[in-house]
Structure 1
């Protein structure tokens, strides 16, 4: 039995016993994420993971870290905390898989004004679900109770992931040629980017988030809180079937910032505007906020969570594989010679 407690610390606003209870409540969720390689459970000073290098001749570790950002304000207002953990995992592992790496492990960091064990466990349940979707293990984390720094009912959430890829199998964007096909993988919504603008547009602290929206087919709050889609498994499956030259994770900065990050000098992505399957939430944001199309495509994913570049001759096969994985995938455009960047026409 753990007999660690401090009345003085509790009087200062930190209840260490609440932390112990939170750990006990989250263990059932963490257990879902255990994969081969995990050597120890939650509670130690470090997460142990045995690296299996079978079929990996030149292992390269790939790391990614990110947070959920101000999307958390929606979770506070709706008092719904079991999905933002998926966003946290997604923002890290979707970056890692862009070079062809398989995420192996994940750690989270939760800083809060007051440790309410049930709320912390709900947050971690989302993290665990994200890890399951990504096929990686939740090997540890940290919950920091920081009274006076965060309001009692608020928290911040960030994460860190490590993956591995064979050096010879890293996606090679330098091989991109004019005529290569750009394939879109549909997003699930706004994901976890641009929420400072979203919050301003809808004045979310003062609007009715639960009200039904005919344009969205559900409530605004529910739509905005939809978790970020995790693309790890379909991308890794696609890599077995076709030659992937590059992958772009469409996050903050939208098309104009993220697509060029996966292009070599002298190559330009040409996106067919008519091909983009814009989700209703983005039309609503643009209408209510009076935001022009250029700014929308430079802030949001607009319904495209990832872009994959493959040889034109393999485009049909790529679409077949991705759709078989349950993705909504379609041809978005092509690569052309020109100044590195994006043209939407």
Structure 2
């Protein structure tokens, strides 16, 4: 396969098939000293909550729209098999062994810059890919989950590598998946440097596969965004999501089963716009790289949070200094119909929705009041940005 480089340049590399999931990745050998060192930071971008958070459920709605009243005794992410608190506990234990984790990406010093790395998969969204037969966009999700994490430090993605594993290689199916990865790399202007194709008989169900990947970017040390200078009165700008993105699908699938609807049924409450549940749920994750780097270049950006697993409640405070929190204006953006359906069909409580899903906002930028005015003035109908809240004294997230 060819490596897709930013700016349209193409460099030839190979992607040999291996029956073993272990082989040397493509490109030059790493420089001595980069494989380990005192500044190495382990990063799992969706499980790095190091402080306990207080949550204020001051509104009757979980978001900017009116998703319908949450039913008591509704579904939860934990009941669907995902325990966010257990993940946080693991992070706490890892932090004792490898201090320095906590950001959305891991930073490694290199001269006057930092290399910023992130790794991820697409979770059980793959289950819906198998059921819907939509395979040509799942690779976009894979790239997005990593590049959106590393851009929160202000880093420009340099390259991406993927891991595709299956029991029996279906070349046509694999080509569709990798096409999505190529598309994602082009959107984020980074090189698809290579990857691993592993054929492991009897390990996966027939017709199924698994995906993971990682991205590496770079940012100058004097330009890194780390939230240290955030202060009360700063403004939260939200960039819209395309839907559920790639988190919370264990709960989504439980809701779907409980609802009695199929993936081929129309999405309820979508203002008459014809879209099936399968199409709405499989909408690829937005890649925010170009937009975020453009905003950063104009100044005034102090912190950035990628809204993934943990939703608003857990992700936004990760960029704040101690003693600061966020007030979210719950009526400041339009919530996609898919979230309203999920909450109604699952009878899910407001706080559970906020801690599991992005609710229509996939990236949050913490900026100065002056910078927010410029961002909002330049916002367009096809490229919107929303004033969704402010930084306040007191830790955690409150909704008003």
* TM-score interval (norm. to shorter): 0.7 to 0.9
Counterpart check, 1:187 vs 2:166: no
Give the Cα separation in 2 of the matches to 1:206 and 1:154: 25
Indicate which of 328, 335, 341 corresponds to 2:391: 335
Deviations 1:171-206 (A, max 9, x none): 141111111110000000000000000000011998
Equivalent pairs counted in the alignment come to 311
Deviations 1:231-280 (A, max 9, x none): 00011011111221000000011000100111110111111111142111
Indicate which of 262, 285, 289 corresponds to 1:208: 262
Alignment of 1:43-122 (within 5 A): 43=15, 45-48=24-27, 58-122=112-176
Classify the secondary structure of the residue corresponding to 1:175. coil
Deviations 1:206-232 (A, max 9, x none): 842112234233100000000000000
Q: CA deviation at 1:77?
A: 0.5
Indicate which of 276, 296, 303 corresponds to 2:360: 303
| 1:243–1:34 distance in 2 versus 1, CA, 3 Å | closer
Q: CA deviation at 1:314?
A: 1.6
Q: CA deviation at 1:50?
A: 11
Q: CA deviation at 1:160?
A: 0.6
Give the Cα separation in 2 of the matches to 1:132 and 1:37: 11
Q: CA deviation at 1:59?
A: 1.5
Partner of 2:197: 143
Q: CA deviation at 1:78?
A: 1.0
Give the Cα separation in 2 of the matches to 1:234 and 1:327: 9
Q: CA deviation at 1:117?
A: 0.4
Give the Cα separation in 2 of the matches to 1:258 and 1:119: 34
Q: TM-score, normalised by structure 1?
A: 0.85
Tell me, which stretches of 5 or more residues in structure 1 are unaligned?
1-26
Give the Cα separation in 2 of the matches to 1:206 and 1:147: 35
Contact 1:37 1:50 (C-alpha < 8 Å) held by counterparts: no
Partner of 2:399: 344
Contact 1:184 1:304 (C-alpha < 8 Å) held by counterparts: yes
Give the Cα separation in 2 of the matches to 1:177 and 1:63: 27
Classify the secondary structure of the residue corresponding to 2:356. coil
| 1:76–1:181 distance in 2 versus 1, CA, 3 Å | same
Q: Which runs of 4+ in 1 moved over 3 A?
A: 30-40, 43-46, 204-207
Alignment of 1:210-249 (within 5 A): 210-216=264-270, 217=273, 218-249=275-306
Q: CA deviation at 1:42?
A: 2.5
Tell me, which stretches of 5 or more residues in structure 2 are unaligned?
17-23, 31-109
Give the Cα separation in 1 of the matches to 2:158 and 2:381: 20
Higher relative contact order (CA 8 A, sep 6+): 2
Give the Cα separation in 2 of the matches to 1:290 and 1:160: 35
Larger helix fraction of residues: 1
Contact 1:183 1:331 (C-alpha < 8 Å) held by counterparts: yes
Deviates more, 1:31-40 or 1:131-140: 31-40
Contact 2:327 2:398 (C-alpha < 8 Å) held by counterparts: yes
Deviates more, 1:221-230 or 1:327-336: 327-336
Partner of 1:268: 325
Indicate which of 235, 238, 253 corresponds to 1:199: 253
Give the Cα separation in 1 of the matches to 2:28 and 2:150: 18
Contact 2:243 2:283 (C-alpha < 8 Å) held by counterparts: yes
Give the Cα separation in 1 of the matches to 2:185 and 2:366: 26
Contact 1:77 1:205 (C-alpha < 8 Å) held by counterparts: no
Partner of 1:5: none
CA-based RMSD of the aligned residues comes to 2.3
Give the Cα separation in 2 of the matches to 1:233 and 1:157: 24
Classify the secondary structure of the residue corresponding to 1:234. helix
